[in-house]
A and B are shown apart, each in its own frame.
Chain A
Amino acid sequence: MVLSKTRRFAALLLIALAIFAPWAAKADGNKPRRIVSLNLCADELVLRLADRERIAAVTWLSRDPNNTNVVDLAADVPINHGLAEEIVPLDPDLVIAGTHTTRTAVALLKRAGFPLIELGVPRTLDEVRVQIRTVANAVGEPERGERLIADMDIRLAALPRVAPGKRLRALVLNPNGFTAGADSLVDKIITAAGLENLAPRLGVGNYGHVPLETVVTSRPDVLILNDRRDGPPSLATVLLQHPALAGLADHAVLAVLPARLWNCGGPGVIEAIERLSRIASRSTSARAGE
């Protein structure tokens, strides 16, 4: 995979940050003991990489099995709602936040001098790997990070290869009619699964809206619905149950992918890739049999 210059720079910056961060340089006995995560995606990495007794709090979002792949690990960890008032009394020696969430709390905790790292939103699988290493180093568990990455790579290598000319065309439909374009991790997930993302042809850059009419007439072979069927009622998800999409079933495979697998650029995306890859091979062989 070819990284663009800015991406490579960002990746190097993240690695440098992880290496030179003071808490990462601590001796083994000095691993952070009161880790707080302020972000759903950071939750998963912290819960997978650090021992339970060293985690002081994760977000309340990780208690919902629809949101996260690690609800079991989060079950007995105290929760926070991303408010600085909740975090300060925990006296954390490492705070992990997202670059786009809980900005007020992050600014306050920085001012108060708590050690804090911020995680961006990965747009490639390489950036996912970099992020896992960053968090693994920060929590003082670099070997566990490498094991997690190695496991991802083994599973990726086991997937069947599909030649670019033989790929089925896929389109992602998120609640509210949004789809993911070329500049997104979801695009990399689709490509890694041996499918071709239709969204760039519809002029979608990173994340954009597509009218249902365009969804139907763009003739996708696989329509990937990001769905929470048992979630609370919302207009955003009612859209995914529109009769026009049900009518597409004669023309395309409707694949429902749980949001928790690809909400975050974490290890969960591998399961998303595997599921899509199975759907792709099934429909390719079904077509060959016609």
Chain B
Amino acid sequence: MMSEISATRTAARAPALSYGALVILLAAVVVVLLAASLSIGYAPLDLQKAITDAIAGKSTLEAIVLMELRLPRAALGGLVGFSLGMSGAAMQGLMRNPLAEPGIIGVSGAAAFGAVTSFYFGLAGAASLALPFGGIAGAFLATLLLFALAGRGVGTMTLILAGVAINSFTGALTSLALNLSPNPYAVSEIVFWLMGSFADRSLPYVWLVLPLMLTGWGLLLASGPALDGLTLGEDTAKSLGFDLKRLRFQLVGGAALAVGSSVAVTGAIGFVGLVVPHLLRPLVGHRPGRLLLVSGFGGAILTLAADISVRLLPIRPELKLGVVTAIIGAPFLFRLIYRLRGAE
């Protein structure tokens, strides 16, 4: 995949850092944060003993904490962040609008509704495939609807309004589904689905969503060259030999796979797909194809850092992750809207 993308690159406008160096740097930060996420928790843990025991296959308390609690949390932090960051970059490329982000335009909300429906009405056991499929179906339908409503470079206003409509509709449906479900904890669980959290997720969820996410990432990365072509306009992209219909389907499907399976296991975490591509875009010479991979790593960095911070903050039960990403992300949104205001 990487080489395929690199093959299309010729001399980009030279930012301070070359593309390869940027990818390696971001990946290194992700690795450091993964290690930090494993070593930070609620209970003091002898990490060395935990690793030795886990490798030896002994189920000591240390090994249980490491393998069953910290590992799934760190892994999901990386995977979900990567998915959200990359999907944000892809949707912005597809709709050619810097505000196209899964949370803002309602794709995450729809995925949450899909997951809630399959989870609370007994279609999905604790960790069965019906859960991510519910999320993916929701994300897919919302993305199609958005594209039909506001696709292809229409005004920002239309896109945002379509997002507001989808968000409030799916949010209401999620609440409705939870109210109708025979579950005494429904009210507190609405917060999880709307704000997201990595707390106490388990390893089976990781195995459940990993193949789906990888497929989604593959679809998105493969559309990189066509996204670059699309920046020259639809007609030019067509004349360069890109099949735009296929491209759209590939992007919608890839984003739905990545976002849908993320939301199904961790709830809707907002703003990651907005902040990260926005910060990294100048570093890749504003090329949407190159932005995909770096936004994935950037998303993982933001999500892991936010998840580490909710565990370090002295607030119990811990904050929902979406609260932290919104506090970081909302000012970006304001700034973007402020700047776009002049453009329209």
Contact = CB atoms under 8 A, between A and B. Distances in A.
A199 to B, nearest CB: 14
Interface string A152-180: 00000000000000000000000111000
Contacts of B188: 176, 236
Nearest to B126: A238
A217 B182 contact: no
A242 B317 contact: no
Contact of B200 (A177, A219, A233): A177
Contacts of A236: 183, 185, 188-189
A231 B126 CA distance: 13
B153 interface: no
Interface in B297-327: 316-318
Interface string A207-245: 011011110111100000000000111111111011110
Interface in B228-258: none
Given A211-B316, A236-B185, 16 more contacts: A175-B185, A177-B317, A208-B316, A211-B42, A211-B43, A216-B65, A216-B69, A233-B119, A233-B125, A235-B185, A235-B189, A235-B192, A236-B188, A239-B200, A243-B202, A248-B64
Nearest to A219: B61
20 contacts: A175-B185, A177-B200, A209-B316, A211-B316, A213-B43, A217-B43, A218-B43, A231-B183, A232-B120, A233-B125, A235-B189, A236-B185, A237-B185, A239-B200, A241-B126, A242-B200, A243-B202, A244-B69, A244-B202, A250-B59
A212 B200 contact: yes
Contacts of A113: none
B106 to A, nearest CB: 22
Contact of B64 (A177, A239, A244): A244
Contacts of A239: 200
B61 A216 contact: yes
Contacts of A175: 185
Nearest to B316: A209
Contacts of A250: 59
Interface residues of A, number: 30
B132 to A, nearest CB: 15
A251 interface: yes
Contact of B68 (A233, A244, A251): A244
A244 B65 contact: yes
Interface residues of B, number: 35
The 3 closest A-B pairs by CB, nearest first: A244-B68, A217-B43, A236-B185
Interface string B37-52: 0000111110000000
Interface string A88-119: 00000000000000000000000000000000
Contacts of B41: 211, 213
A248 B69 CA distance: 12
Given A243-B202, A244-B64, A247-B64, A216 B43 contact: yes
Nearest to B200: A212
Contacts of A214: 42-43
B59 A247 contact: yes
Contacts of A208: 316
Interface in B176-201: 181-186, 188-189, 192, 199-200
A213 B189 contact: no
Nearest to B192: A235
A241 B183 CA distance: 17
Contacts of A251: 61
A126 B8 CA distance: 79
Contacts of B189: 234-236
Contacts of A244: 64-65, 68-69, 202
B68 A242 contact: yes
B185 A234 contact: yes
B204 interface: yes
Contacts of B124: 233
B218 interface: no
B331 interface: no
A233 B185 CA distance: 10
Interface in B120-163: 120, 122, 124-126
A243 B119 contact: no
B65 A233 contact: no
Nearest to A237: B185
A36 to B, nearest CB: 23
A81 to B, nearest CB: 14
A243 B316 CA distance: 23
A176 B65 contact: no
A233 B181 CA distance: 9
Nearest to A247: B64
Nearest to B318: A211
